[in-house]
Amino acid sequence: MSSYRVAGKGRVDTGKPVDFTFDGKTYQGGVGDTVASALLAHGEHLMGRSFKYHRPRGAVAAGSEEPNALIGTRRGPGRFEPNTRATMQEIWPGLETQSQNKFPSLKFDVGAVNDAAYMMFSAGFYYKTFMWPRSFWDKVYEPFIRQAAGLGVSPTEEDPDHYASRYLHCDVLIVGTGPAGLAAAKVAAQDGLKVVIVDEHSEAGGTLLSEPQAKIDGTPAWDWLSATLAELKATGVKVMTRTTAIGYYHQNFVGLCERVTDHLSALPDDTPRERMWRVRAKRVILAQGALEKPLVFHGNDRPGVMLAGSAQTYLNRFGVLVGKSPAVITSHDSAWFAAFDLADSGAKVQVIADTRAEVDADLIAGAKSRGIPVKLSHTVTATSGRLRVKSVRLNPVDGGSVGAGSNVTCDALLMSGGWTPSLHLFSHTKGSLTWDTDLTTFLPNETPEDCIIAGASRGLWGIEAALKDGVTAGEQTLDALDRAASGTHSYAVENDRAGTGVTHKELLTDKSPGKAKAFVDYQNDVTAKDLRLAVREGMRSIEHVKRYTTNGMATDQGKMSNINGLNIAADALGKPQPKVGLTTFRPPYTPTTFGAFAGYHRGEHFEVTRKTQIDGWARENGAVFEPVGQWSRAWYFPKPGEDMETAVRRECVTTRNSVGIFDASTLGKIEVKGPDAVEFMNRMYTNPWTKLGIGRCRYGLLLGDDGFIRDDGVIGRFGQDLFHVTTTTGGAARVLNMMEDYLQTEWPDLNVWLTSTTENWSTIALNGPNAARLLAPLVEGIDINDEDFQHMSCAEVTVAGMPARLFRLSFTGEIGFEINVPAPMGRQLWEALWAAGQAYDITAYGTETMHVLRAEKGYIIVGQDTDGTVTPQDCGMGWAIGKAKPDFVGKRGLMRPDLVAKGRKHLVGLLTEDDSKLEEGAQIVFDPNQPKPMTMVGHVTSSYQSDAVGQPIALALVAGGHDKMGETVYIPMPDRTIKAKITSTVFLDPENTRLKIAKES
């Protein structure tokens, strides 16, 4: 048995040895041990180095509030987690753990020079030290900060585990399985009520696990606990351990993170590592208990200095003595009981020092009977010991003046500064708090949620008080659910340890306070001196003090430091604590893995990927894809050996010279149908629709009521009351939402139905001088020529045997068609066209070529050439506005003073003087020689190589551009300034001669 293990104590099964490693050395513990308890059983207190000063640190607590003993845990490749609390990680055979923030080793660390240089690292040192000289920032300060920043080491490999998420609906959710939670559960456990009780620890019981001496109604606490758990499970209560309630959200929505496999030596197949439960409970009972506060004194962070209640937990729950000759310093009765338990298990308690002048006579007698020296009215002013506490310096206090100190040798120092109710989840509910002067702490007041807080988390000490309060909470909960409690529940507890105490700011000392390292926030290395410095330097709000010192900002979220920090800041400010206030508790309660939050949404399941029916063909034919919104679209189709530029040039040239085929299925499609369809279209779009004949289509422009372009697309009329609207790929859902908004709320009188048909149609575009020649033989129902099916026509026909909505339109400037067939027929049509196209050397082209071809013709892409501040006139599309219409969305907006003002940015073409291709997004100036910062007058929106034009082309928004045709602008780049000439946006075939189908001879 390890030398600090006490036979017959604790719940760890030492008969089942478990070997694990810490920093490469093998240790043995038992089933039920945590890493911390197993190391302490071997007398190892040193578990890590602190974050800023690299001071040696050991476990100060036994639960999830632990700020110091953070370790990395490893389970084979990919499974590494930093900053795990050694006090929460259960050991299993083969577990590898390592300490953090050390170099080169835990026992000898060169970073500890920071400790010697602590004057430099006091509060706000970042803000002061790194201000100047400016030139030092990139080379000196930033690399230093980056190297020093962060706790632990980030994992570098992809996480091979998977994470699950579940919803849970219940009548009552109870957080905490201590006496209050269990008593509440016993009351609430009724037929037909779904009750869930959760606890973050590996076993249920809370305080009861640390207080086996108590007898509940004559039954020893642990027997009562197992009987109660069995009874609850038998009544159908869901008892969840290793499950942390991480956050309390609106309307009793509570997040639970269940750790499923981290305690197992072998990972079961198909089991998630963690499971996030999203619980919606009708009623919630919070019984999280209380957390012990450290005392704030010089040297209170040395390994071996530990919370007294945690020492009691290590002894009673884990059977481990944290020291064989411990000393105790306290301001609360509870530490006396811890000292008694340790003494009764064979430890030689060196002294119990209490800051109070008067202590309950029973406690004094208890100490006397065990031969423990007692020092009342004492303060602690120092500790010694490099890697483990060796002695403590105790000084008498008389009327506020500190007397001469004397050293007491010890191998552990147990401290208690009293208890802080756990109000974290209660605060998440926006629950209000009240300051209790007697307990020197905040207590819960009112919450807007359907929630009751019970037991020590509302400042009730002792098992009996917690049990009784749990009963009350259970009864109130049943009452709220319109249920009557069955029977009466009453408890009597023997050997209960309800106690009282006082709370301090930092303890009185005879040393210079400026040199004291009295830690308030262990994890962030914040001392009492730092807090006082922050107040001296002008911080008045506790929120500012927090940010300036980083007190309470570490991963333990101030569980130990908040109240001590508040007491000190309030003292420094000369204000009572409630006037200074508490910083906000935010979820999660304890650090939670990204995996648990992400759940199933990772990798390919991170977001929906939408694919067209032609996607498979594109993949088989070597397409490179780009994401467009949720869509995966073919970007270009390289032939072997081609890079992107070569492939795109070939696709452009072939399309302009013969024919190209393009998958346009992602275009948004909305069917607008009903007797008032034409009126609706007239009101929504800028263009006039009344006179558009059946079988004709028109380019439509959609504005917001502010007058700015929102979307565009070609709209075909297939009947008196039927419009086939197309939208941009990315805008489909937004456009439909906007249409529905106006239809439902502004014009509910219009008899129109809107249906999204994007996924009902596969849409294939054919473009090029041979497009009509290729298509004509496949079409039944209409002749493809300029007389029977002129440009901007549409018809319901049969194409290659498939029912189709055929559009003749062009987004390339060539003869163009868009063929819509029922979606599942998309690939069949594509392959039919592909086969027929072989005679014309057809090319498949992707979105990049589509962009080039349209830019050569000056066709805009909404969202690329416009940015939400561009009007139709700005784009030179005043022709698309139905000026005779009394109203349409955006008509009044276009008359706004700023939209008719001179000097607006206009969309123009740019041709560079040196034939270089401009960078999209590049800024434009009129005078390249003006002083910096220059006046920027616009930017490049689109830019491409263009074989058809014979030089690179660009579209740009330029102030007053329409009135500056032929003028030169300048595009300053890091290496040179490029000259460019303003031109029309139409670079190719301004007369649209290429749209005409030549008569076949």
Partner 1 sequence: MLLIHCPYCKETLPESEFTYAGQAHIVRPEMPSEQTDAQWEEFLFLRANPKGPHYERWRHFHGCGRFFNAVRDTVSDKFLTTYPANTPKPDLESLIGDAE
Q: Which residues bind partner 1 (CB under 8 A)?
A: 249-251, 253, 278, 280, 430, 448, 705-706, 737, 740-742, 744-746, 748, 886-887, 891-893, 895-897
How many C-beta atoms surround the C-beta of residue 879 within 10 A? 10
Measured from the CB atom, is 141 or 253 closer to partner 1?
A: 253
- Residue 246's SS3 state is strand
Question: Which helix or strand (DSSP H or E) is residue 738 part of?
Answer: helix 732-741
Smallest Cα–Cα separation from 279: which of 444, 430, 451? Answer: 451
Compute the least distance from the CB of residue 427 to partner 1, in Å: 15
> 464 near 493, Cβ under 8 Å?
yes
| CA–CA separation, 461 and 419 (whole Å) | 9
Compute the least distance from the CB of residue 892 to partner 1, in Å: 3
| CA–CA separation, 145 and 381 (whole Å) | 33
> Residue 448: what are its φ and ψ, rounded to 5°?
-75, -10
Measured from the CB atom, is 128 or 896 closer to partner 1?
A: 896
Measured from the CB atom, is 111 or 893 closer to partner 1?
A: 893
Compute the least distance from the CB of residue 339 to partner 1, in Å: 47
Measured from the CB atom, is 125 or 249 closer to partner 1?
A: 249
> Residue 180: what are its φ and ψ, rounded to 5°?
-65, -45
Compute the least distance from the CB of residue 167 to partner 1, in Å: 9
Measured from the CB atom, is 278 or 483 closer to partner 1?
A: 278
Residue 138 DSSP symbol: I
Compute the least distance from the CB of residue 250 to partner 1, in Å: 5
Question: Which helix or strand (DSSP H or E) is residue 311 part of?
Answer: helix 308-316
Compute the least distance from the CB of residue 192 to partner 1, in Å: 21
Smallest Cα–Cα separation from 458: which of 286, 281, 585, 294? Answer: 286
Instruction: Calculate the alpha carbon distances from 262 to 23, 73, 291, 420, 595 in Å.
Output: 19, 10, 25, 29, 13
Measured from the CB atom, is 490 or 760 closer to partner 1?
A: 760
Measured from the CB atom, is 609 or 744 closer to partner 1?
A: 744
| CA–CA separation, 250 and 244 (whole Å) | 18
Compute the least distance from the CB of residue 878 to partner 1, in Å: 17
Compute the least distance from the CB of residue 459 to partner 1, in Å: 25
CA dihedral 9, 14, 18, 21 (to 10 degrees): 50
Measured from the CB atom, is 152 or 247 closer to partner 1?
A: 247
Compute the least distance from the CB of residue 895 to partner 1, in Å: 8
Compute the least distance from the CB of residue 758 to partner 1, in Å: 15
3-state secondary structure 457-481: HHCCCCHHHHHHHHHHHHHHHHHHC
> Residue 870: what are its φ and ψ, rounded to 5°?
-115, 130
Compute the least distance from the CB of residue 437 to partner 1, in Å: 28
DSSP for 333-375, written as a single string: THHHHHHHHHHHTT----EEEESSS---HHHHHHHHHTT--EE
Compute the least distance from the CB of residue 712 to partner 1, in Å: 22
| CA–CA separation, 648 and 652 (whole Å) | 6
Measured from the CB atom, is 271 or 755 closer to partner 1?
A: 755
Measured from the CB atom, is 807 or 888 closer to partner 1?
A: 888
Measured from the CB atom, is 48 or 890 closer to partner 1?
A: 890
Question: Which helix or strand (DSSP H or E) is residue 878 part of?
Answer: none
Measured from the CB atom, is 727 or 767 closer to partner 1?
A: 727
Where does 900-995 show beta strands of DSSP type E? 905-912, 923-924, 938-944, 953-959, 968-972, 977-983
